[in-house]
Structure 1
Amino acid sequence: MGLEAVIREIQEKGRKEAEEVRKETRADVEEILRDAQTKAAGIKMAAEEEADRTATHIINQEVSAANLVVKRQVLNAQKTLLDQVYSASLAAVGDLPAEFHKKALTELLKKVAGEIKEGIVHANERDTPVVKEIISGQKTLSGYTVGAPVEIPGGIIVESTDGELKIDYSYRTFLDEIWESGLKDASDILFT
């Protein structure tokens, strides 16, 4: 065999080995690319899921915050309305006829006489003459004097002569008691 034949044989063998190495390299490259694409797809899917979870969480927080704001506004509106009803009720009682006030003051003075034997009776400016008339007209109230007018919508405030006891029978006090006990019922009627 000649030298040329040996060179051709070596070249041929080298080409075959090079071709084999190229095939193996292409296979390795393709496998690496497939793995990279699979990992990239997994990362992309995980990122999308996380973005969806985050978006859902943010939306839920915003909805909750909006609901809270609306609820607060509704409660504030209800409180404003209840305050208006309270004020209107107090004004309505104050606007009742003089006969009502005279009868109410008489009953309140009788009631206080069972608790304080002697004292000073305070009423608003409108009711002070009526209180004087009631006290002067009933012997059971002879231990009472009329004090300076006070800023109340009606009723009386009585303090014992020794100053140790004070009883508030003003209309506001009675309305407050009724209001406290009936607030839930009134709220249910107005707002349901």
Structure 2
Amino acid sequence: MGLEAVLEEIREKGRKEADAIRAESKMDSDRILAEADQKVAGIKAEAEEASTKQAARVTAQEISAANLLVKREILNTQKGLLDEVYEGTIAEIAKLPESFHREAIKKLLTEAKKEIPKGKIHCNARDEAAAKAVLAEKEFSGFILGEPAHIDGGILIEGEGGELQIDYSYRTFMNKVWESGLKDASDILFG
């Protein structure tokens, strides 16, 4: 029985060592799994943070792009309205009576005469009669009527020999007024 007891003792010691090794292995594996879980949680948190930041960045870019698109549409609409007002103004001026155009031609020619004392004037076909009436006046005897010009109204003055030309068309004056008053008009119309 002595041998049996020794064998039993060795077996018992082996079981205890095996249990201790299993317990230690279990602790090691639990520790490794816990560390892995922590790493996974950290990676997951970093990925979530990165994706949240990326989503916020993309959202901000999309919002900016949408705002720019809206602003562009608003500006295009405003420009369209201002262009309509501009063209409407030119059209309304063209509808004014012949007496208005005759008086305008006279004033424009008086102003042009300061720079070009003699020459040729051009006006649109509608205003030829008014221009002839103005040119019949003695103070404008140095001017002759040239071919009709493709202008909305007003006159184009050409000095003798064609060296000097002045554009006193309505559109030229309208452009000057328009450019200087565009901001004011825009503020009034669109706030």
Q: TM-score, normalised by structure 1?
A: 0.96
Q: Distance in 2 between matches of 1:45 and 1:55?
A: 15
Aligned to 2:52: 52
Q: Distance in 2 between matches of 1:2 and 1:127?
A: 142
Q: Distance in 1 between matches of 2:43 and 2:27?
A: 24
Report the CA distance between 1:102 and its aligned residue: 1.4
Q: Distance in 2 between matches of 1:153 and 1:123?
A: 9
**Is 1:136 matched up with 2:136?**
yes
Aligned to 1:169: 168
Aligned to 2:101: 101
Q: Distance in 1 between matches of 2:29 and 2:108?
A: 103
Q: Distance in 2 between matches of 1:29 and 1:113?
A: 106
Aligned to 1:72: 72
Aligned to 1:21: 21
Report the CA distance between 1:141 and its aligned residue: 1.4
Asked if the contact 2:98–2:130 (Cα under 8 Å) also holds between the matched residues in 1, the reply is: no
Report the CA distance between 1:2 and its aligned residue: 2.2
Say which is worse superposed, 57-66 or 4-13, in terms of deviation: 4-13
Give the match's secondary structure for 2:76.
Answer: helix
> Percent of counterpart pairs with the same letter?
51
Aligned to 2:5: 5
Q: Which runs of 4+ in 1 moved over 3 A?
A: none
* CA shift digits 1:76-134 (9 cap, x unpaired): 11111111000001111111122211111111111111111110010111111211121
**Paired amino acid for 1:34:** A
**Paired amino acid for 1:175:** M
Q: Distance in 2 between matches of 1:110 and 1:16?
A: 125
Aligned to 1:126: 126
User: How many equivalent pairs are there?
Assistant: 191
Aligned to 2:159: 160
Q: Distance in 2 between matches of 1:178 and 1:112?
A: 19
**Paired amino acid for 1:83:** D
Give the match's secondary structure for 1:117.
Answer: coil
Alignment of 1:80-95 (within 5 A): 80-95=80-95
Give the match's secondary structure for 1:96.
Answer: coil
Q: TM-score, normalised by structure 2?
A: 0.96
Q: Distance in 1 between matches of 2:137 and 2:163?
A: 27
CA RMSD of aligned residues (A): 1.1
Aligned to 2:150: 151
* CA shift digits 1:128-154 (9 cap, x unpaired): 12111211122x211111001111111
Give the match's secondary structure for 2:117.
Answer: coil
Give the match's secondary structure for 1:67.
Answer: helix
In the alignment, structure 1 segments of 5+ residues that lack a partner are none
